[in-house]
C-alpha cells in the first residue's frame, strides 16, 4: 500500500533541517511519507542587518506561509519562538513537538566568568542584550547574526569571548562540549516558545490529514505550556525587537506556573511577574495585564517609539 505523501516546508539552515527531519521521522513512524521542501526566508537572505531593522513580524516565516497558502507544501516546520504572536488569517499552529530544555547558554572555546571585566558576548537577541545589561551591566555585547555554524566561525575569529544561544539549538547540533555557562531560567527567563518545534498549516489542508499529523507530532504537555506563553506574548504585542520574555511550566498538581515580563532596552527597567492557573489563554492574558499595569506599558511604548524613530534596536548594541 502506497504511503500518503506530506510535503514539509522548512528553512535551509542545518538546525532548521534537523527540526524538519525530526518531524519527518515522527510522520514515518505513523505510516506517512514525508518530503522536505527547503525554502530560503527573508531572515536567511539578509545577514548583515539586525532583525529589528528588517521587521519583527514574519522574518523567518513569511515565505513558508506563502508556500502553505498556495498549497505547495502541506505543513511548515518552525522554531516555535520564530512564529509571530498573531498569525495571518487562514493560518494556525497545528501542533507543538515535545520541548527541549528552554534555557540559554554561553558557548565558547574557553572558560567563561560572567564577573570578568571587559567580557564580550555575541547575540542577535534584544531580550538577551537587555537582560545582560540588567544583570551584568559590565558585559559588552556584539550583534551576531547568521546560522549557528556562521556564529561559531565568528567566535573562532576572536572578536568575542562567547556566544549566548538557546540550549536546544546547541544540543541539536551536538555542540554540548562548547557550553561554558547555563543561565537559570527563573532569573534569565527564556523567550516564548524556545525549545519547541511548531507545525503550521493553512486552512486549505484537509481536516482528516491535519488530524493524523497532529496525532503523530503533538506533545500535549508542551502544547499547554506554549499556548499559555503565546497568549501572554499576544496580549503584550511583542515581537523580535521587543525584550519580552515568558516561560510556562506545569506543576505536579496540574497547575501552570507562568513567569514573564519585559525589560527596557538599556536594562534599567526590568519587570517580571509570576501567575498560576489552569487555563492557558486566561493565564497568559492575566500575566500580560499584570506586567503592563506594573509599568510594562510605559516600557513597551518607549521601546516602540525608539524603534520607530531610530530604525531598530541594533543602534544600541553593535
Q: State the residue for C-alpha cell 566561525.
A: 153
Backbone angles phi, psi at 85, to 5 degrees: -70, -30
DSSP3 helix / strand / coil % (the chain, rounded to 5): 40, 25, 35
Listed in sequence order, the DSSP H helices in the chain are 14-29, 42-45, 51-54, 62-69, 126-135, 148-156, 167-172, 207-217, 220-236, 280-291, 297-310, 314-317
Which sequence positions are flagged as catalytic? Answer: 82
**CB of 246 within 8 A of CB of 276?**
no
User: Which candidate, 93, 188, 174, places its Cα nearest to that of 139?
Assistant: 188
CA distance 290 to 95: 28
- 156, burial (CB in 10 Å: exposed 0-12, middle 13-18, buried 19+): exposed
**CB of 91 within 8 A of CB of 9?**
no
**CB of 273 within 8 A of CB of 291?**
yes
CA distance 54 to 225: 29
User: Which candidate, 67, 103, 114, places its Cα nearest to that of 191?
Assistant: 103
**CB of 304 within 8 A of CB of 126?**
no
Amino acid at each position: 500500500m502506497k504511503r500518503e505523501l506530506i510535503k514539509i516546508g522548512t528553512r535551509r539552515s542545518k538546525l532548521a533541517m534537523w527540526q524538519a527531519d525530526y518531524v519527518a521521522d515522527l510522520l514515518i513512524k505513523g505510516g506517512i511519507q514525508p518530503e522536505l521542501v527547503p525554502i530560503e526566508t527573508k531572515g536567511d537572505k539578509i545577514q548583515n542587518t539586525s532583525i529589528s531593522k528588517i521587521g519583527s513580524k514574519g522574518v523567518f516565516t513569511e515565505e513558508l506561509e506563502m508556500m502553505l497558502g498556495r498549497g505547495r507544501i502541506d505543513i511548515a516546520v518552525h522554531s516555535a519562538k520564530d512564529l509571530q504572536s498573531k498569525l495571518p488569517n487562514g493560518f494556525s499552529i497545528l501542533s507543538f513537538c515535545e520541548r527541549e530544555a528552554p534555557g540559554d547558554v554561553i558557548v565558547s572555546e574557553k572558560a567563561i566568568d560572567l564577573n570578568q571585566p571587559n567580557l564580550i558576548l555575541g547575540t542577535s537577541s534584544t531580550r538577551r542584550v537587555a537582560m545582560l545589561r540588567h544583570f551584568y551591566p559590565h558585559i559588552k555585547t556584539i550583534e551576531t547574526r547568521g546560522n549557528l555554524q556562521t556564529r561559531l566561525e565568528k567566535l573562532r575569529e576572536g572578536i568575542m569571548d562567547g556566544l549566548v544561544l538557546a540550549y536546544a539549538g546547541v544540543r541539536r547540533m551536538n555542540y554540548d562540549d562548547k557550553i561554558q555557562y547555563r543561565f537559570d531560567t527563573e532569573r534569565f527567563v527564556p523567550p516564548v516558545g524556545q525549545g519547541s518545534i511548531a507545525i503550521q498549516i493553512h486552512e486549505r489542508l484537509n481536516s482528516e490529514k491535519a488530524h493524523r499529523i497532529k496525532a503523530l507530532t503533538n506533545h500535549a504537555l508542551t502544547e499547554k505550556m506554549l499556548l499559555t506563553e503565546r497568549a501572554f506574548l499576544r496580549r503584550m504585542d511583542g515581537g523580535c525587537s521587543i525584550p519580552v520574555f515568558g516561560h510556562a511550566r506545569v506543576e505536579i498538581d496540574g497547575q501552570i506556573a507562568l513567569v514573564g515580563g519585559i525589560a527596557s532596552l538599556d536594562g534599567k527597567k526590568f519587570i517580571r511577574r509570576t501567575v498560576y492557573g489552569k487555563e492557558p489563554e486566561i493565564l497568559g492574558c492575566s500575566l500580560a495585564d499584570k506586567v503592563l499595569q506594573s509599568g510594562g506599558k510605559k516600557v513597551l511604548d518607549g521601546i516602540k517609539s525608539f524603534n520607530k524613530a531610530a530604525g531598530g534596536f541594533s543602534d544600541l548594541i553593535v
